[in-house]
């Protein structure tokens, strides 16, 4: 295979700037997909992606265009899936930087750009949605050219929806993005940038071949895990997997490894023809910042849940999971994620793809505690929080927050952040009627619903990005909730001491609204260290036991009411409230 005709590139942009639509036009232009099979967002293969209108998983595809082979990787735009983008960037030589003409540069535009520049990728800038009545095309073009320090003439003005100037953009990709550099005569080496599991072929590794070539029967070694296997099949993405006789240096494709143990094939590892080969520099797996506990509603589903998490971890190593057990919930897993949306997507995939109903705890962050005996303890879920009198000092994570907003919403944004314990560091005018705000604030506030509140406060015009910076001293307590006298550990949450009452009152009121009525009275209580700070009561559901009576002595009516009262009293002592999983989800969204 002549590497001079290969171009490996991806599309990077903020969420909803038109990446998937542009990928559709590329597929049509190169006739990779037949017109009768074409549909919108073709590379978004998951139902979840189509429902939410966002890309969650990267998707590679091989296209033929004017005697060139183009390997495109469509990437997500949301901050919670930035690891997907970083893996895509490690497999290519260039990227199309896409910016929405109606919104301009956003927070994730800057974040993805920084990653691409670290890898010295060739960037082809384009301003999309020029057909929109709200487009500010030339303003945004100037904004992009200043950001990249290039001539405005080098920025393409396109409409991915209408196909305007898309051919010219693709021609520029072919002209500007360099061909891969690898040794065809060298021993085979390839970087694993993604994977999934197949019941018959084992782990399917998505690879960028750096040196040499591989055939469908070759023996392969995994340098990181020291595992070895005989390759079952190699091929390309069209975008479905299509087998091929050989994969050569510079190409992007897949290797069916035949390995049935997912932990033996790691994303970022090097596949080689020999154990002594030099590993290819991979990419660093980010540390999780949000922790959620997952428990199967049916304890018999524990092994199925474990298998589900193993297979999803194979595709997305940025989330972690460890065994956890609670008396009320049984065995489950404490999972770490890159953000709240990331956790919602993974849990929804477990439900849909593996048909498991779960109890899901409230999202939390990692805290550092110093106990009275001088020991330091990391706490990732409320269940791990020790008795309050045993805690000497505590620290919580703080992050640097970057928000890009129009000046018209500056006061709304500042007012919102004041309620989230934020510290203002800088407000910078970055041109094109946009301000860049830099704040420091507790990470628990960011993952606790800041993004949704920011969108509401700015009518969807602001965007945000954040990075962990340091741990700071804090005054926190564990807030527990009793339902009918029983502690519901899944509802427990770590909150600032001065916000405990308001948080407790809000949750018990929400529980009263969401929980179905029982045949007995149910007490809902918020508790700190055994002290009740807020309470609500769900009245018993009553049946009219006197309805069949149509007269007669009043004592008959009183007798029936007394019997009902006695029965409800007994049920209150013995009854147990089962909280539906949807109630947990609704509570955690508040």
Sequential DSSP letters for 96-152: EEEEETTT-S-HHHHHHHHHHHHTT-EEEEEEE-TTSTT--HHHHHHHHHHHHT--G
Identify which of 60-64, 260-264, 579-583 has the greatest average pLDDT: 60-64
At 85, is the secondary structure helix, strand, or coil? helix
Just give the CATH number of 290-363: 3.30.70.870
Tell me, what's the pLDDT at 292? Answer: 86
Q: Going by DSSP bridges, is the β-strand pair 213-215/522-528 parallel, antiparallel, or unpaired?
A: unpaired
Q: Is the peptide bond before 239 cis (omega within 30 degrees of 0)?
A: yes
- Binding positions are 16-21, 128-131
pLDDT > 70? residue 494: yes
Q: What is the mean pLDDT of residues 195-219?
A: 89
Which distant-in-sequence residues (6+ apart) come within 8 Å of 163 by Cβ? 25, 28, 29
Q: Please give the average per-residue pLDDT across 56-69, as a whole number.
A: 85
* Res 589: pLDDT: 58
| Residue 162 pLDDT > 80 | yes
Question: Which pLDDT does position 472 carry in this prediction?
Answer: 93
- Contact of 10 with 88, CB cutoff 8 Å: yes
pLDDT score of 544 more than 80:
no
Query: From CA 421, how far away is CA 429, in angstroms rounded?
Result: 23
- Average pLDDT in the 560-585 region? 65
Largest CA distance in the chain: 104
Domain-wise residue ranges, the chain = 3-176, 189-272, 290-363, 368-473, 477-588
Give strand pairing partners of 520: none
pLDDT at 581: 64
Task: Give residue 48's pLDDT.
Answer: 58
1-10, 71-80, 116-125, 198-207: least confidently modelled range? 71-80
Q: What is the pLDDT of residue 99?
A: 94
pLDDT level of residue 8 (50, 70, 90 thresholds): very high
Note the pLDDT of residue 56. Answer: 57
For residue 294, which of 490, 488, 482, 483 has the smallest C-alpha distance?
490
CA dist 578 and 357 (Å) reads 14
Interior CA angle at 401 toward 399 and 402, to 5°? 155
The two tokens of residue 76 are 């997500």
Read off the pTM. 0.74
**Whether pLDDT at 46 is above 60:** no
Average pLDDT of span 191-207? 88
Nearest-CA neighbor of 82 among 265, 380, 316? Answer: 316
User: Is residue 16 pLDDT above 90, yes or no?
Assistant: no
Q: Identify the residue whose tokens are 């009219």.
A: 544
Fold of 477-588: Alpha-Beta Plaits (3.30.70)
- Give mean pLDDT, residues 364-388: 87
Q: Does domain 189-272 have CATH number 2.40.30.10?
A: yes
Of the pLDDT bands very low, low, confident and very high (cuts 50, 70, 90), residue 569 is: low
- Checking if the pLDDT of 572 tops 60, the result is no
Model pLDDT, residue 575: 61
List the Cα angle 119/120/126 in 5-degree steps.
Answer: 105
Q: pLDDT tens digit string along 409-429? A: 999 999 999 888 889 999 988
In the predicted structure, residue 571 carries a pLDDT above the cut 90: no
d(CA 449, CA 420): 10
Q: What is the per-residue pLDDT for 122?
A: 95
User: Is the distance from CB of 81 to CB of 44 less than 8 angstroms?
Assistant: no
C-alpha closest to that of 24 among 211, 185, 158: 158
Average pLDDT in the 108-124 region? 89
Q: pLDDT over 90 for what percent of the chain?
A: 32
Percentage of the chain exceeding pLDDT 70: 87
Give the mean model confidence (pLDDT) for residues 389-408. Answer: 90
- Return the SS3 of 69: strand
Annotated binding site for GTP: 16-21, 128-131
Which residues are bridge partners to 128 per DSSP? 100
CATH homologous superfamily, domain 3-176:
P-loop containing nucleotide triphosphate hydrolases (3.40.50.300)
Half-sphere exposure of 281 (CA within 13 A, CB side): 3
| pLDDT, tens digit (0-9, with 9 covering 90-100), for 272-318 | 988 878 888 766 677 888 888 888 888 889 999 999 998 888 878 88
**Would you place residue 389 in the very low, low, confident or very high pLDDT band (cuts 50, 70, 90)?**
confident
Domain 477-588 in the same topology as domain 3-176: no
pLDDT tens-digit series, residues 335-368: 998 888 788 888 888 888 888 888 887 788 899 9
Reduce the DSSP state of residue 451 to 3 states and report it: helix
Contact 465, 451 (CB under 8 A): no
Q: Provide the sign of the torsion angle of the four alpha carbons 197, 203, 204, 206, taken in this order.
A: positive
* DSSP output for 341-393: HHHHHHHHHHHHHH---EEEPPPB--EEEEETTS-EEEE-SGGGPPPGGGEEE
Nearest CA to 194 out of 87, 115, 90 is that of: 87
- The residues near 357 (Cβ < 8 Å, ≥ 6 apart) are 296, 297, 298, 301, 351, 581
Q: How high does pLDDT run on average in the chain? A: 84
Cβ–Cβ < 8 Å for 148, 125? yes
Around Cβ 584, how many Cβ atoms within 10 Å? 19
Whether residue 132 contacts residue 160, with contact meaning beta carbons closer than 8 Å, is answered with: no
CA distance 278 to 99: 38
Fold designation for 368-473: Alpha-Beta Plaits (3.30.70)
Phi and psi at 329, nearest 5°, equal: -110, -15
CA angle 273-278-279, nearest 5°? 90
**pLDDT tens-place string over residues 450-470:** 888 888 888 878 888 888 889
- Identify the weakest region by mean pLDDT among 68-77, 130-139, 476-485: 68-77
> Encoding tokens for residue 527?
């508790």
DSSP per residue, 83-99: HHHHHHHTT-SEEEEEE
Mean pLDDT, range 569-578, rounded to an integer: 62
Instruction: Record the tokens describing residue 199, joined without a space.
Output: 């019941």
Q: Quote the CA–CA distance of 204 and 258 in Å, as a whole number.
A: 8
pLDDT above 70: residue 546: no
30-40 pLDDT per residue, tens: 988 777 676 66
């Amino acid at each position: 295979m002549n590497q001079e005709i290969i171009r490996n590139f991806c599309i990077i942009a903020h969420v909803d700037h038109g990446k998937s639509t542009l990928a559709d036009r590329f597929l049509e232009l190169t006739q990779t997909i037949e017109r009768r099979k074409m549909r919108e967002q073709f590379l978004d293969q998951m139902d979840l992606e189509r429902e939410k209108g966002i890309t969650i998983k990267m998707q590679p595809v091989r296209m033929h265009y004017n005697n060139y082979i183009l390997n495109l990787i469509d990437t997500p735009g949301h901050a919670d899936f930035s690891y997907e983008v970083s893996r895509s960037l490690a497999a290519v030589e260039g990227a199309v930087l896409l910016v929405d003409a109606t919104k301009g540069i956003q927070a994730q535009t800057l974040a993805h750009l920084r990653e691409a520049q670290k890898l010295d990728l060739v960037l082809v800038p384009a301003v999309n949605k020029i057909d929109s009545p709200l487009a500010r095309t030339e303003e945004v073009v100037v904004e992009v050219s200043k950001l990249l320090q290039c001539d405005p003439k080098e920025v393409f003005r396109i409409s991915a929806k209408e196909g305007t100037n898309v051919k010219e953009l693709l021609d520029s990709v072919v002209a500007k993005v360099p061909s891969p550099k690898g040794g065809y005569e060298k021993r085979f080496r390839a970087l694993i940038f993604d994977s999934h599991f197949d019941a018959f072929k084992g782990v399917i590794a998505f690879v960028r071949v750096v040196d040499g070539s591989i055939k469908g029967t070759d023996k392969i070694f995994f340098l990181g895990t020291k595992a070895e296997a005989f390759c079952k099949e190699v091929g390309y993405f069209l975008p479905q997997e299509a087998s091929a006789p050989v994969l050569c240096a510079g190409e992007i494709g897949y290797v069916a490894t035949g390995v049935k143990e997912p932990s033996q094939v790691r994303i970022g590892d090097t596949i080689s023809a020999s154990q002594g080969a030099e590993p290819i520099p991979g990419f660093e797996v980010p540390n999780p910042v949000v922790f959620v506990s997952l428990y199967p509603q049916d304890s018999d589903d524990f092994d199925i849940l474990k298998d589900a998490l193993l297979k999803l971890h194979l595709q997305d190593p940025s989330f972690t999971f460890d065994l956890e057990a609670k008396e009320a919930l049984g065995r489950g897993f404490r999972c770490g994620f890159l953000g709240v949306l990331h956790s919602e997507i993974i849990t929804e995939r477990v439900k849909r793809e593996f048909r498991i109903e779960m109890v899901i705890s409230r999202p939390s962050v990692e805290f550092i505690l110093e106990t009275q005996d001088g020991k330091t303890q990391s706490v990732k879920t409320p269940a791990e929080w020790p008795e309050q009198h045993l805690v000497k000092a505590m620290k919580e994570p703080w992050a640097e927050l970057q928000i890009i907003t129009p000046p018209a919403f500056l006061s709304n944004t500042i007012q919102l952040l004041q309620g989230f314990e934020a510290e203002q560091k800088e407000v910078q005018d970055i041109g094109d009627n946009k301000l860049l705000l830099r704040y420091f604030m507790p990470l628990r506030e960011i993952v606790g619903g800041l993004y949704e509140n920011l969108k509401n406060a700015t009518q969807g015009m602001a965007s945000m990005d954040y990075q962990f910076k340091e741990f700071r001293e804090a005054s926190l307590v564990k807030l527990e909730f009793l339902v009918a006298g029983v502690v519901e550990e899944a509802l427990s949450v770590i909150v600032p001491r001065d916000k405990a009452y308001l948080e407790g009152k809000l949750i018990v009121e929400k529980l009263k609204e969401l929980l179905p009525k029982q045949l007995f009275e149910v007490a809902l209580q918020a508790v700190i260290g055994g002290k009740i700070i807020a309470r609500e009561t769900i009245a018993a559901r009553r049946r009219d036991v006197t309805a069949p009576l149509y007269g007669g002595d009043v004592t008959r009516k009183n007798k029936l009411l007394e019997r009902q009262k006695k029965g409800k009293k007994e049920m209150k002592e013995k009854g147990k409230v089962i909280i539906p999983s949807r109630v947990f989800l609704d509570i955690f969204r508040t």
